Amino acid sequence: MQYPVARRAVQTMVREHQRLSAVVNGMTRFVALLSAGAPAPEPMLMRAMLCYIREYPEQVHHPKEDKYLFARLRSRTDGLDDVIDELEAQHVAGEARVRDLERALTRYELTGYSAAPALRTLVDEYAAFYSHHRRLEEEVILPAALRFLTAADWMELDEAFGANRDPFSGSEIEGEMDRLFSLIVSTVSESIQ
């Protein structure tokens, strides 16, 4: 989606959504391989994907959306309250879904192929959940933010989201998340060739 005003916070949020989408797509490929009985990467790859989701979107991205973006929108209009309520509830539900995925992965690691269908179901549900969440944010919330937020609001959002430790920038602090994402992408790519 193209945004008429290039706001640093919007660019950061969209970039982070794209990165999370790549990880979620990797999860769906992983469980599809398991379900098909095809050679699949080691379960550690799925564990790395879940670690990425827990450490970045759940700990950095979503809390900033709640604290800055959603709060500012609530102060400027009440026409989005229902959507913001839904998104905030999804942020809480997302953490629970990740825990459920971790448990299902552990069951798969302990019992083998018989646990693969349950894991696939949870991954497919998470992928649909995340897709709906992302669409609401990018098609409803971000355009509304561009319409309703003030220059002062944008300064605060740009500063808050600009301070996000981007796991893909390669700095020493962010290097661990960068290496994790690279491992995920390269391993998933190799396994589907």
Which residues constitute the domain of residue 77?
Answer: 8-191
pLDDT in tens, 43-63: 998 998 999 899 888 888 899
Q: Is residue 68 part of a domain?
A: yes
Nearest to 146 by CA among 18, 138, 136: 138
Q: Is residue 53 part of a domain?
A: yes
State the angle between helix axes of 8-36 and 116-136 in degrees (0 to 180), rounded to the nearest 10: 160
Mean pLDDT of the chain: 86
| Confidence at residue 8, expressed as pLDDT on a 0 to 100 scale | 87
pLDDT in tens, 78-124: 999 999 999 999 999 999 999 999 999 999 999 999 999 999 999 99
| Confidence at residue 180, expressed as pLDDT on a 0 to 100 scale | 66
Looking at residues 130-148, what average pLDDT do you find? 96
Cβ(185)–Cβ(52) below 8 Å: no
> Which residue's structure tokens are 């809390």?
63
pLDDT band at 3 (very low <50, low <70, confident <90, very high): very low
Q: How far is CA 192 from the centre of its chain?
A: 22
Nearest to 11 by CA among 167, 182, 157: 157
Residue 158 sits in a domain whose CATH number is 1.20.120.520
Q: Is residue 148 part of a domain?
A: yes
What total of structural domains would you count in the chain?
Answer: 1
Q: Is residue 78 part of a domain?
A: yes
What is the C-alpha separation between 164 and 81, in angstroms, rounded? Answer: 26
Q: pLDDT at residue 161 above 50? A: yes
Find all residues with CB under 8 Å of 23, minimum gap 6, and list them. 49, 52, 53, 181, 184
Q: Is residue 2 part of a domain?
A: no
Query: What are the structure tokens assigned to 173, written together?
Result: 């602090």
pTM of the shown model: 0.84
Buried b (16+ CB within 10 A) or exposed e, 148-168: ebeeebbebbbebbeebebbe
Q: Is residue 73 part of a domain?
A: yes
Q: Is residue 3 part of a domain?
A: no
Query: What are the structure tokens assigned to 130, written together?
Result: 């995340």
Q: Is residue 1 part of a domain?
A: no
